[in-house]
């Protein structure tokens, strides 16, 4: 979620055609709402307590799971965006042995 948010912000902030339409520049993480869900055919792909939804909103990252027989997502964890950003950006860099999908 952090890498996608950072890429999204970079795309917005580097686009000179979009810039005049931004209320604030640079566009910052608290204003970006980014989510990733793992669904198939309109419902969660797994219901074993694994993460099925992660989103970043207002500088928080939230992770939700789906448990079998429960139609409502359960909050697994919530953490500040800036803390996760430090961890993610301090990890392996592009070109290191671990591949970066983004």
pLDDT in tens, 6-24: 999 999 999 999 999 999 9
Q: Is residue 45 part of a domain?
A: yes
Q: Average pLDDT in the 66-88 region?
A: 88
Q: Which domain holds residue 17?
A: 1-89
Q: Is residue 53 part of a domain?
A: yes
Q: Is residue 1 part of a domain?
A: yes
More confident residue, 22 or 38: 22
Q: Average pLDDT in the 41-69 region?
A: 85
Q: Is residue 100 part of a domain?
A: no
pLDDT bin (cut points 50, 70, 90) of residue 90 is confident
- Strand, helix or coil for residue 29: helix
Domains of the chain: total: 1
Q: Is residue 18 part of a domain?
A: yes
b/e map 30-45, b = 16+ CB within 10 Å: eebebeeeeeeeeebe
> What is the pLDDT at residue 93?
54
Q: Is residue 99 part of a domain?
A: no
Specify whether the CB–CB gap between 32 and 5 falls below 8 A: yes
Lowest mean pLDDT, pick from 26-30, 52-56, 89-93:
89-93
């Amino acid at each position: 979620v952090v890498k996608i948010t950072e890429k999204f912000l970079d795309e917005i902030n580097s686009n000179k055609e979009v810039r005049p339409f931004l209320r604030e520049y640079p566009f910052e993480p608290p204003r970006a709402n980014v989510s990733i869900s793992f669904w198939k055919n309109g419902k969660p792909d797994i219901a074993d307590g694994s993460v099925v939804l992660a989103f970043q909103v207002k500088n928080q990252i939230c992770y939700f799971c789906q448990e079998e027989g429960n139609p409502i997502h359960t909050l697994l964890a919530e953490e500040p965006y800036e803390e996760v950003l430090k961890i993610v950006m301090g990890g392996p860099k592009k070109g290191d042995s671990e591949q970066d999908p983004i």
